[in-house]
Amino acid sequence: MKTNAVRLLETLGIAHRLVEYRPDPDNLSAENVAARIGMPPEQVFKTLVVRGDRNGVCLAVIPGNAGLDLKALARLTGDRRVELVPLKDVRPLTGYLRGGVTALGARRGYPVFLDESAGLFDEIAVSVGARGLQVVLSPAGYIAAVKPVIGAISRDKGC
């Protein structure tokens, strides 16, 4: 399957591999995706749509086993506060369904913020804009393609 994300990676010459899996419409969590593709959840990054009070919509890319630290993201974006966009607004804002949101080849040029933990791994997985398909690539390749701001924006889910 060729998505905008795959086309972008090919155009940029960034090494990657696609991993297909059968999505569970009742459980689109990154942890479930990680189990289905055989990777640890901390290496499967999810893309969240967030809105700041000053700078508007952005994308936050964090490990699948973590939660978003809203205060840390707000500091990084220059907003006083940020909040997750309601699920009903994700598709109108991004063109993607939940479980398929990606910053790679995104249709709209929202700023992207990547959790610094991505740099701990040789490879990470992210959605390519469709449920049931992930791309595995080096963090450096992802950074080259997306040009995110990098910072500590995730927290343990228990916090």
Count: domains in the chain: 1
Q: pLDDT tens-digit profile of 87-123?
A: 999 999 999 988 889 999 888 889 999 999 999 999 9
For residue 54, the SS3 value is coil
pLDDT of residue 108: 85
Looking up residue 93, the CATH number of its domain turns out to be 3.90.960.10
pLDDT of residue 158: 60
- Beta-sheet strands, E only, within 7-55: 16-20, 45-52
159 has pLDDT over 60: no
3 has pLDDT over 80: yes
* Beta-carbon-side half-sphere exposure of residue 18 (alpha carbons within 13 Å): 15
Query: How far apart, in whole angstroms, are the C-alpha atoms of residue 41 and residue 1?
Result: 24
The whole domain housing 62 covers 4-156
